[in-house]
Structure 1
Amino acid sequence: MANNKSAPLNDAVIVALSQLVDDAQPERRDPSHYDLESLISRHGLTAGDPKSQGQTVGKAKRVRATLSWAYGNSEESGGQFVYGLVSLIQGLGGFRESSSNFVGEEAILNCVAVFDAEGFELSSDGHLRPKVLDTLAGVALTEALKSYVRRAAKGAEDAALLTGTGKDLLEAIAAHVVQQKFGGYSTQSNFPTLLGQAYAALGLATPQDQPQPGEGPEKRVERAMFELACSVNALRNKQGTGHGRPWLPTVSDSQARMAVETMGVIGERLLAVLGGAR
């Protein structure tokens, strides 16, 4: 069974990762083609592997082609492959300068930069993990939350519960909005109260705000989004430490994906209004 740990997948990640296995070198460097084939097969991406189609390609092109296919056809599996490839390269000594498999400082720095833009940290020794959001504030936190929103909108379940916090995505965004607008928030507030404060700070309509004559249909949408956000939050498994599946046991996989995508849509709107959009 494939490791379910996932990482971001986009064009920049694809290019940067392919540089980690660049085989245009005078001496052979692992991972081998066999290593890549095993990883590709484990994550169900054989259909995107050019070697499985009979093509003769180098390792960098193989990784790039496979991940490009995954990006358009199976992004969740592609994200798991990304995480697995980084771990494989780390295990082979690719991030250790003294190793014969060292991938090079420039290739590592490129990967650090592209993962940073997606809310992930890649350490110099090859550990890839989501940023601990409790250590961020202001613009840095806004950008990190946006990266989670992008992943949530695509159904990435690991974007639902945030690393280093006890909050789910919408709760973290609501807290951030209130912090930015009012300078602080009560950690004792329940989710509907916190979201209501964020809505008030952004000038959005909640179900408690009676419709006004002549108001636009967007106000009805804002009220509906509030109710939907509260409903999705109620599906969350608030027991435990935040590791593992973030949903109640009764929530099916399709319901969980719908909930994560909903978080992405609502979270994107809140952050857009915080940034000045209407």
Structure 2
Amino acid sequence: MTMLITDLIVAAVSKMVDDSQVEGYREPSHSDLEFYIGRAGLTNADPKAQGQTVGKAKRVRAVLSWAVDNDQAAGGKLVEALISKIRASGGFREASENFIGREVIRQAIEAFATEGYVLSADGALQAKNLETLSGKELTDALRGYANRAQKGSEDAALVSGTGKDLLEATAAHVITIKYGSYPQQANFPALLGQAFITLGLATPEDAPSSSEEPHRVMERGMYQSAVGVNRLRNKEGSGHGRPWVPGIERAEAKAAIEMAGIIAGYMLDKLENR
């Protein structure tokens, strides 16, 4: 799992390592933090490495905040390592002297859920499997994927557990909300077109006019872009390696991911406002 970190996740993880409000010592130690920060390749962002004396929460917050803007992969690696360490040290068990607290765990669960991940009460972390979700819960999960895609996270291109890319999963969800099911055999342009029509969005089938609202022109462009993004998907390699057809350049993949996030986010906005 390649995790995309956000300010919300940074805040949650910082609280998980904070022991300034409790008596005595609680793992992970500063030595542990130094090890995991170094292993993630983020020593250059560590306040302690710069000669500063800071608490554990402030130290982790500084490193991860730098990673949000400069090295998402390293930041995600550090988050996963810290949660694994906290879990192994008993941080999620109330009987443990390292227990981080019910409220901190609750807030962390909510933070990760907002960003498209499932953090269990016992500390297990994984991407949400959207195949098991429906209704508002699925809308929220797709929103998390859209947010991650807008920031270029390649793992948001294919939606966990569904075999669909983000745009296909969003279109299917829109139609299901409206009609109770979606045409599973429909090709992507037809599925997307039905979703656009359901949301009242313009498609290339709607003849343009000089008097129409400017956003209708934008929506037609979104439709065409979504079809293009879907054609770049490696249908033979879903879930294995890169989700794109062979030969696609990095710049094209990045643009496709971000575009998918923008279009999916727009569709979800329209869905929630109907």
Q: TM-score, normalised by structure 1?
A: 0.89
Could you tell me how far 1:5 is from its partner in structure 2? 2.5
When residues 109 and 218 of structure 1 are mapped into structure 2, their CA distance, relative to the original with a 3 A threshold, is: closer
Contact in 1 for aligned 2:4/2:153 (Cα 8 Å): no
Contact 1:9–1:82 (CA<8 Å) still a contact in 2? no
User: Identity, % of aligned pairs?
Assistant: 52
Match of 1:194 in 2: 191
Q: What's the counterpart of residue 2 of structure 2?
A: 5
Residue 156 of structure 2 is aligned to residue 159 of structure 1: yes
SS at match of 1:275: helix
Aligned residues: 273
State which of 1, 16, 19 in structure 2 corresponds to 1:20: 16
TM, length-normalised to structure 2: 0.91
Q: Does 1:228 align with 2:225?
A: yes
What pairs up with 1:247-266 in 2 under 5 angstroms? Answer: 247-266=244-263
Q: Compute the RMSD of aligned alpha carbons.
A: 2.0
CA contact (8 A) 1:9 1:75 kept: no
* Separation in 1, partners of 2:26, 2:107: 19
Q: In structure 1, what residue type is equivalent to 2:263?
A: I
CA-CA distance at 1:212 after TM superposition: 3.0
Q: Deviations over 1:37-67 (max 9, x none)?
A: 2222233322321111110112122111212
CA apart distance, 1:274: 1.6
What secondary structure sits across from 2:59 in the alignment?
A: helix
Contact 1:50 1:62 in 2 (8 A): yes
Structure 1 counterpart of 2:62, which letter?
A
- Larger mean Cα displacement after TM superposition, 216-225 or 147-156: 216-225
Q: Deviations over 1:174-221 (max 9, x none)?
A: 011111222221111111110011111112222222223422332222
Q: Which runs of 5+ in 2 are unaligned?
A: none
Q: Which amino acid aligns with 1:23?
A: D
Alignment of 1:104 with 2:132, yes or no, is: no
Would you say the 8 A contact 1:76–1:156 is kept in 2? no
Q: How many Å separate the matches in 1 of 2:83 and 2:254?
A: 26
Distance 1:40 1:249 in 2: 34
SS at match of 1:233: helix
